[in-house]
């Protein structure tokens, strides 16, 4: 049974961006993760061992966003995807990273980057 697990609107502080102040001052980031996978087993067994642990997924995102600096949102999203290989053995993972306070001279809601990766056994 194909399905998806989504963690939407996670909010973190990090130091990411090209400008000098973005490398030293914390700023807000928002992240969505969607994991498309086979949910047959957990829908029948009701066992955490048979699915993706949401807590572990959120911890991965938090550790990457609060960790080592990235100039680009693309790099940050890529690092998150790389780490999801620790908990996803098969399926498609989509990561969206938003930066609501990017230093631009125009009014905007947020800047967003989306990356996807297929994981195969």
Residues known to be catalytic: 99
- Going by C-alpha positions, the residue among 31, 89, 86 that lies closest to residue 61 is 31
C-alpha to C-alpha distance for 70 and 14, rounded to whole angstroms: 10
Task: Point out which residues pair with 34 in neighbouring strands.
Answer: 6, 94
- Going by C-alpha positions, the residue among 23, 20, 27, 115 that lies closest to residue 76 is 115
For the chain, report the end-to-end CA distance as a whole number of angstroms: 18
The alpha helices in 1-121, defined as continuous H runs, are 20-24, 40-45, 54-65, 73-84
């Amino acid at each position: 049974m194909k399905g998806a697990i989504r963690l939407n609107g996670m909010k973190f502080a990090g130091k990411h961006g090209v400008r000098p102040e973005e490398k030293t001052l914390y700023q807000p980031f928002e992240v969505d993760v969607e994991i498309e996978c086979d949910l047959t087993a957990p829908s029948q067994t009701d066992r955490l061992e048979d699915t993706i642990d949401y807590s572990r997924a959120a911890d991965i995102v938090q550790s990457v966003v609060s960790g080592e600096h990235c100039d680009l949102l693309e790099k940050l999203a890529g690092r998150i995807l790389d780490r999801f290989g620790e908990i996803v053995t098969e399926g498609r993972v989509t990561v969206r990273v938003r930066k609501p306070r990017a230093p631009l001279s125009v009014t905007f809601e947020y800047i967003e980057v989306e990356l996807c990766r297929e994981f195969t056994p």
